[in-house]
Structure 1
Amino acid sequence: MEIDPVTLEVLRNALQAIAEEMGVTLTRTALSPNIKDRRDCSTAIYTARGELVAQAEHIPLHLGLMPTVVKKTLEFYPPETLRPGDTIIINDPYISGSHLPDICLISPVFMGEELLGIVANLAHHVDVGGMVPGSMATTATEIFQEGIRIPPVKLSQGGKLNEELLRVLAQNVRNAATFWGDIQAQIAANTVGARRLAELAARVGGAELKRYLRAVIDYAARRFRKALKELPPGIYTFTDYLEGDGLTADPIRITATVTIGEEGLKVDFTGTSPQVRGPVNATRGVTLACVYYAVKAVCDPELPASEGIAYPLTVITPPGTLVNPTFPAPVAHANINTAQRIADVVFGALAQAVPERVAAAGTGSMSNFAIGGLDSRGRYYSYIETYGGGQGGKCGQDGMDGVHVNMTNTLNTPVEVIEMEYPLLVARYGLVPDSGGPGEYRGGCGLCREITLLREATVSVSTERSSFTPWGLAGGLPGRNSRCLLKRPGCDWEVMPGKFTLTVPAGTTVILETAGGGGFGDPRARAPEAVRRDVKNGLVSREAALADYGVVLNEDCEIDWIATQAKRRETKRLP
């Protein structure tokens, strides 16, 4: 029976709407600011065999992780063994592909006795145990130090909640009440998704819906293969580096070789460093997500997220390397840093093929900032936030300022929420002037946040690009490095490494400045009016306008056109 294109588009959008409604349910009913305010979560719909059909537009990293976790879970619980009212919980990275704070709930959806499909959601919990509050120690050397591992187990069976299991899990985290609340929100999200999918099946018929679930995936695969044919055939290689694993500052090599041919696209990570002792190792699921995202962004950004994206791609991740470690390597910070660098190297390789489609390097990290301890009432708290930075400039467009880029898409935590929920004081929050890489299209500026701890606590910071600058493209200059400063009471400011975990006394202040994005194109080709606007907005200083862009401004911030033309005729500034 043929697939009707109109029906396909109607049902594809209906399925997408269900996934989005699941996401709204999750974020509006969660307790932790990390989920309800920052939206560090994803929701999706699958076929009965665990193939991704539709995913809410939350976090790109989860595009590869969620299909991995559902398929792996179905190896433990085959579809034919599932029953109405079942829900499976899992967070083990060596099965799910993520890191321990990401807890996934998976629920089958039935129409009578017929299995229609599967709904699932993944949410980052603020604490899952381990050696530090927030479960994101930069000094972990094995996964056992990062928190409690949950294999695929039934959280509910036949609609009956396994409260004994939940009590065991809550006993092993620092924020038990928050954990319970966020789990209930995840259950609610799946309940809504299952109800809406069953309602859709009742309208169109169960067999017809299942047929179109498959058709959505096939459509994405056909469209993606067509988009890949627009890339020039060839072999393109790029290398970039992580700035240490949290235990040492030794650079860690990540190499990607992209081969574009008639049959599709292959990404080979041979040449990447072996797995390391620190917690920046990335499971294959993380690596796959980064490849899917980068290739999709370059070839067909509007392509709906589904399993079809994976069909034309081949990804080689040598076992025992940074991008496919063996158990029990720690992995907590792979999502934060390594994922961003994997995306960078794939983009760097693709820039050699289609430079007009690729942005310069962005801030290069999700820049995790975690603070945890006891509040004034003796209760554990965990403040966790990932900070945005500068987006790289691209052909025809400046990079955005102070945003998350590439593998993440979370929001920030409002200052008022931070000070209401935690014993913390936010003294400063804003953009970092001159941090965006100069170019015809400027890189975005990084963020700065200054926080003072009102009580003794453990601080964990994990960022990148403090040594290696975010690279520019087509003659654009690099963005400015990240920077972290710490000041204990009565002491001078200390310059901190990009990754550290430290217990500090009350009154300690921490400043984290994230990296800017690289510029695209010759800075001297930038429109002088755009430079003047950046200066008026506080994004570029007068000094940088002159030195980087050759734009001379008078005291009223107006362009001195004669002086500017003369300055731009001088020898161009080299990177």
Structure 2
Amino acid sequence: MTKWEEYGLRPSDVSIVGHQLVAICEEMALALVRAAYSSIVREGKDCSTALLDRTGRVIAQAQRIPVQLASLSAVAHSAIAAIGDELPGRDGFILTNDPYSGAQHLNDLILLAPIYAPAPPEGDSALLAWTGSVIHLIDIGGAAAGTQTNAKDIVAEGLRIPPMALSKSDLESGWLRQILEANVRVSDQVLGDIQAQRSAAALGVSRYLDLCRRYGGAVVEKISEMIMDYAERVTRDAISELPDGTYEAEDLVESDGLGGGPFPIRAALRIKDDELTIDLTGTAGQAQGPINCPLAATLSAAYSFVLGFVLGDTVFVNDGCYRSVEVVIPERSLVNPSYPAPVHARTNVANRVYSTLKLAFASIDPDRSMAAGQDTPYQYTLSRLDDNGSYEMITGVMFGGWGGSVWGAGLDGVSSHLSNATNLPVEYEEATTTWYRLIEYSIRDGSEGGGRYRGGRGLRRVYEILAPGGTFSAYTDRISVPPRGLFGGGDGAVGGFKIIRRDEVIPLAPLVTEVPLVTGDVVVLESAGGGGWHAEEDLEEATTGA
């Protein structure tokens, strides 16, 4: 009897249930965004959702933020182990943001909600699965509002929540609510976003139980195993098509915000039959500043590379995709720091790990290669304490150009490979703030690297400050070292931050915290353009992307 016949299934049932699991995750994500309060979640969509089996393995996920999703099972395993037998109740959940317990940085909050069977059979566990979600909290306390780039340890970065099982009342009226209200600047937005997570989790629980009622819980669990096994087979097949060997590359992270840098990121891809080893040995040691990339974020960068360049969109994304991939990450390094190293700006390193792997892959298959782009998001916060003692705060992200590739010109000003967040709409900012205004949002013509296929163009975003007392915080990379072209293509232009104060231009470092602003200041953000792909052969063959 085949495994299909054992459960009375047809092969098509696996595809149908697989798509339904993904649809549940997508519906959770939509519900989360619609219910959110903060700019970074409601408008920037900096959040992710997934379904995990009872042991914490990801079985399905929404197409959201790769750097949040690819290591969600790591934090789930850590959190489930930490709480032991004290599982949360039916209206409870596990909460954590601890980078040293599997999370990534303090602003990314993970919520895991259990899915219990309505009437578990005698002798069987009532736990069927978990819903999982990640949101970027607009503030988590700490020394600076929203974006913290000058901390020397994680204690200064904000409130650290170890994995813990909590109840509905803990958040709605209990000690957790009181702790958050006392420690974060915009508690209404923070608590509202966490409630949005809970609402999304409740929806996911309901939809998963509907699926179990239709097919049976054991069948859904078995199909989840089949989907992961299939993902493993597809990944192994894709790796086996690549030539055996070792392929190496190196890139740089420019600064840690406290005077250190540049920091080398070294990567080797080792292919043997149907297995891939990603080795980051030789990468710089951990930094004093907050660019350190926790283990989970580094794993996400590595796994996201596998999905993007080895697999493509050929399979449901789940933990089965990573079974044939080993990631070697040195301890006490920039890509695996030890407590209490600060980690707030970890995406600077995570994105550079991805771009270094992308560069190494160009030696394996030039026909699936891509030049360097901005690759690192610009995260920024504009904050002001008003006369009533309340904070006005906006946190957003801005992106740059992608590198040119065999597929054509690089995309202009779109989200980086590890992100899928969106920019803040001008209308949203105009409707929610009175102390500044956005006076320009444009594409940076001329920022692209030339070549047969040009790089994508960066963006320019300009704010005019209308009232005193505000501050500007931000972090990014590619401010001194440009995105390199590939195979003779031209380099993209670097980006940067600056303040224009009367007739003076004040350049800012790539990581800045609470730069004071005065009335009349003009704050300029310019993102890098992407590198070009291949030397330009002649004007007729060169693409302009127009």
TM-score (norm 2): 0.94
Kindly state the Cα deviation for residue 130 of structure 1 after the two structures are TM-superposed. Answer: 0.6
Kindly state the Cα deviation for residue 68 of structure 1 after the two structures are TM-superposed. Answer: 1.6
In 1, the alpha carbon distance for the partners of 2:278 and 2:186 equals 41
Residue in 1 aligned with 2:21? 15
1:63-142 correspondence to structure 2 within 5 Å: 63-78=69-84, 81-112=87-118, 113=120, 114-134=126-146, 136-142=147-153
Q: In structure 2, the residue corresponding to 1:27 is in which secondary structure? A: helix
Residue in 2 aligned with 1:5? 11
Q: Does the alignment pair 1:504 with 2:505? A: no
In 2, the alpha carbon distance for the partners of 1:406 and 1:152 equals 28
In 2, the alpha carbon distance for the partners of 1:485 and 1:128 equals 26
Residue deviations 1:518-575 (CA, integer Å, cap 9, x gap): 11122234536844x74xxxxxxxxxxxxxxxxxxxxxxxxxxxxxxxxxxxxxxxxx
Of 148, 154, 162, 1:151 maps to 162
Residue in 2 aligned with 1:323? 335
Kindly state the Cα deviation for residue 259 of structure 1 after the two structures are TM-superposed. Answer: 0.4
Q: Does the alignment pair 1:425 with 2:437? A: yes
Q: In structure 2, the residue corresponding to 1:493 is in which secondary structure? A: strand
In 1, the alpha carbon distance for the partners of 2:359 and 2:276 equals 15
* Runs of at least 5 residues in structure 1 that lack an aligned partner in the other structure: 535-575
Q: In structure 1, the residue corresponding to 2:481 is in which secondary structure? A: coil
In 2, the alpha carbon distance for the partners of 1:380 and 1:73 equals 33
Residue deviations 1:452-506 (CA, integer Å, cap 9, x gap): 2233222112121111111111221111111222123x45011222222222323
With over 3 angstroms needed to count, the CA separation of the structure-2 counterparts of 1:350 and 1:162, relative to structure 1, is farther
Kindly state the Cα deviation for residue 78 of structure 1 after the two structures are TM-superposed. Answer: 3.8
In 1, the alpha carbon distance for the partners of 2:368 and 2:235 equals 16
Residue in 2 aligned with 1:448? 460
Q: Does the alignment pair 1:30 with 2:41? A: no
Answer yes or no: is the 8 Å Cα contact 1:243–1:468 preserved in 2.
Answer: yes
Of 244, 248, 255, 1:237 maps to 248
Answer yes or no: is the 8 Å Cα contact 2:452–2:542 preserved in 1.
Answer: no
Q: In structure 1, the residue corresponding to 2:71 is in which secondary structure? A: helix
Answer yes or no: is the 8 Å Cα contact 2:280–2:328 preserved in 1.
Answer: yes
Moved beyond 4 Å, runs of 4+: 157-162
Kindly state the Cα deviation for residue 507 of structure 1 after the two structures are TM-superposed. Answer: 2.7
Residue in 2 aligned with 1:292? 303
Residue in 2 aligned with 1:485? 498
Letter of the 2:292 partner, please give it.
Answer: N
Letter of the 2:432 partner, please give it.
Answer: E
Residue deviations 1:33-74 (CA, integer Å, cap 9, x gap): 211111000000000000001110011111223212111111
Residue in 1 aligned with 2:279? 268
TM-score (norm 1): 0.89
Answer yes or no: is the 8 Å Cα contact 2:88–2:167 preserved in 1.
Answer: no
When structure 1 is superposed on structure 2, of 70-79 and 311-320 the one drifting more is 70-79
Residue in 2 aligned with 1:391? 402
In 2, the alpha carbon distance for the partners of 1:323 and 1:212 equals 35
In 1, the alpha carbon distance for the partners of 2:542 and 2:372 equals 25
Answer yes or no: is the 8 Å Cα contact 1:254–1:269 preserved in 2.
Answer: yes
In 2, the alpha carbon distance for the partners of 1:464 and 1:93 equals 22
* Runs of at least 5 residues in structure 2 that lack an aligned partner in the other structure: 5-9, 121-125
Kindly state the Cα deviation for residue 24 of structure 1 after the two structures are TM-superposed. Answer: 0.5
In 2, the alpha carbon distance for the partners of 1:160 and 1:416 equals 32
Answer yes or no: is the 8 Å Cα contact 2:103–2:110 preserved in 1.
Answer: no
Kindly state the Cα deviation for residue 386 of structure 1 after the two structures are TM-superposed. Answer: 1.4
Kindly state the Cα deviation for residue 377 of structure 1 after the two structures are TM-superposed. Answer: 5.1
With over 3 angstroms needed to count, the CA separation of the structure-2 counterparts of 1:19 and 1:79, relative to structure 1, is farther
Residue in 2 aligned with 1:569? none
Answer yes or no: is the 8 Å Cα contact 1:156–1:162 preserved in 2.
Answer: no
Residue in 1 aligned with 2:123? none
In 2, the alpha carbon distance for the partners of 1:63 and 1:147 equals 23
Letter of the 2:56 partner, please give it.
Answer: G
Residue in 1 aligned with 2:201? 190
Q: In structure 1, the residue corresponding to 2:13 is in which secondary structure? A: helix
Letter of the 2:390 partner, please give it.
Answer: R
When structure 1 is superposed on structure 2, of 501-510 and 256-265 the one drifting more is 501-510
Of 435, 459, 483, 2:447 maps to 435
Q: Does the alignment pair 1:175 with 2:175? A: no
1:559-570 correspondence to structure 2 within 5 Å: none
Letter of the 1:63 partner, please give it.
Answer: L
Q: Does the alignment pair 1:332 with 2:333? A: no
In 2, the alpha carbon distance for the partners of 1:157 and 1:180 equals 13
1:370-389 correspondence to structure 2 within 5 Å: 370-375=381-386, 378-389=389-400
Q: How many residues align?
A: 530
Letter of the 1:71 partner, please give it.
Answer: H
Residue deviations 1:108-153 (CA, integer Å, cap 9, x gap): 101123211000111001000011100x222111001111001112
Letter of the 2:53 partner, please give it.
Answer: T
In 1, the alpha carbon distance for the partners of 2:317 and 2:436 equals 38
Residue in 2 aligned with 1:357? 368
With over 3 angstroms needed to count, the CA separation of the structure-2 counterparts of 1:376 and 1:395, relative to structure 1, is farther
In 2, the alpha carbon distance for the partners of 1:339 and 1:206 equals 37
Letter of the 1:181 partner, please give it.
Answer: G
Of 244, 256, 269, 2:267 maps to 256
With over 3 angstroms needed to count, the CA separation of the structure-2 counterparts of 1:158 and 1:458, relative to structure 1, is closer
In 2, the alpha carbon distance for the partners of 1:269 and 1:391 equals 24
Letter of the 1:273 partner, please give it.
Answer: A
With over 3 angstroms needed to count, the CA separation of the structure-2 counterparts of 1:387 and 1:109, relative to structure 1, is same
Answer yes or no: is the 8 Å Cα contact 1:439–1:526 preserved in 2.
Answer: no
Q: Does the alignment pair 1:515 with 2:528? A: yes
Answer yes or no: is the 8 Å Cα contact 1:84–1:158 preserved in 2.
Answer: no
Answer yes or no: is the 8 Å Cα contact 1:220–1:308 preserved in 2.
Answer: yes
Q: In structure 1, the residue corresponding to 2:263 is in which secondary structure? A: strand
In 2, the alpha carbon distance for the partners of 1:394 and 1:529 equals 12
In 1, the alpha carbon distance for the partners of 2:525 and 2:169 equals 48
Residue deviations 1:143-176 (CA, integer Å, cap 9, x gap): 0111100111233169995632122122100001
Residue deviations 1:66-112 (CA, integer Å, cap 9, x gap): 21211111112347844422211111111133110111111010112
